[in-house]
């Protein structure tokens, strides 16, 4: 035999990216199936001393449309824990604040918490259909509001984009999206919340059922809309307030 044949496993249902409906997200039961499988895939990598570094819906492969079996893919940016990572040429919403803060010539020691943060953002995206912020930096108002809310002793009231979650879901996401990298919980921590509801019921009058707070819509005033909504067509685009578009299907360049 004088030649080789390379084959790859087929993901007939495409990627998780294709399922997300703009400003709606996915059904909660589907999100939970994804959360369980992705968390275990990431934990397996972390146990092997590896960090994925590029977790996003485009890199989650589907064996079926209902996400009963999914697989994590695209390991082009994967590196060993302890490797030095420099600043990126551009910032995407899944990047952790410690990565976003890197300047030219600065390096970060790679650790699993980078994947943990991206996992938290991914769960937010597939639950809601939009991003919690554009970039995890202080100049981003949505991110700044999140940090201020998390720093408040009472954590009340949450920013607008967080009001459709139950208290349990907020706790779960907050544990993944902790500012202090050393305080982030393991990706497997989401398994503790699978038996709790994640999305609150919101009625037309603005009152959120099952929460310890309520949202009241003031007539004549527009509520702040999510800073980044996922378009239905492929590739996914993030529409920024400045009418700038960033293709999320593109690779992160070093």
pLDDT of residue 191 exceeding 70, the answer is yes
Cα dist from 137 to 23, 73, 143, 144, 205, whole Å: 23, 28, 7, 7, 33
Domain ranges of the chain: 16-72+83-247
Strand ranges (DSSP E) for 84-150? Answer: 84-86, 107-109, 130-131
Q: How far apart (Å, rounded) are the C-alpha atoms in residues 181 and 184? A: 6
Please give the pLDDT value at position 95: 95
- pTM for this entry: 0.79
As given in the structure block, the two tokens for residue 37 are 């499988």
Q: Which CATH number fits domain 16-72+83-247: 1.10.510.10, 1.10.260.40, 3.40.50.2000, 3.40.50.720?
A: 1.10.510.10
Ranges 92-106, 121-135, 212-226: which has the least confidence: 212-226
pLDDT digits (tens, 9 = 90+) for 109-120: 999 999 999 999
pLDDT digits (tens, 9 = 90+) for 203-241: 444 444 444 433 333 333 333 334 444 444 433 333 323
Structure tokens of 185? 């919980």
Per-residue pLDDT tens digits for 136-170: 999 999 999 999 999 886 767 889 899 999 999 99
**Residues designated as active site:** 54
């Amino acid at each position: 035999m004088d030649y080789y044949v390379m084959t790859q496993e087929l993901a007939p249902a495409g990627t998780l990216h294709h399922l997300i409906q703009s400003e709606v997200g996915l059904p909660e039961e589907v999100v939970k199936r994804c959360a369980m499988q992705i968390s275990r895939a990431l934990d397996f990598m972390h146990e092997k001393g590896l960090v994925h570094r590029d977790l996003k819906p485009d890199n989650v492969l589907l064996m079926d449309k209902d996400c009963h079996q999914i697989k994590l893919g695209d390991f082009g940016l994967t590196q060993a824990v302890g490797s030095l990572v420099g600043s990126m040429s551009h910032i995407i919403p899944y990047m952790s604040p410690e990565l976003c803060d890197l300047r030219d010539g600065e390096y970060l020691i790679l650790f699993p918490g980078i994947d943990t943060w991206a996992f938290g953002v991914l769960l937010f995206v597939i639950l809601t259909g939009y991003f919690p912020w554009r970039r995890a930096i202080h100049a981003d108002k949505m991110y700044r509001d999140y940090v201020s809310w998390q720093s408040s002793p009472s954590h009340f009231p949450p920013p607008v984009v967080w009001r459709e979650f139950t208290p349990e879901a907020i706790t779960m996401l907050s544990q993944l999206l902790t500012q202090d990298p050393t305080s982030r919980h393991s990706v497997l921590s989401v398994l503790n919340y699978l038996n709790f509801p994640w999305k609150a019921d919101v009625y037309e009058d603005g009152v959120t059922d099952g929460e310890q707070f309520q949202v009241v819509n003031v007539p004549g005033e527009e509520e702040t809309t999510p800073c980044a909504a996922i378009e239905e067509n492929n590739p996914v685009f993030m529409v920024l307030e400045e009418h700038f578009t960033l293709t999320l299907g593109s690779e992160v360049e070093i």
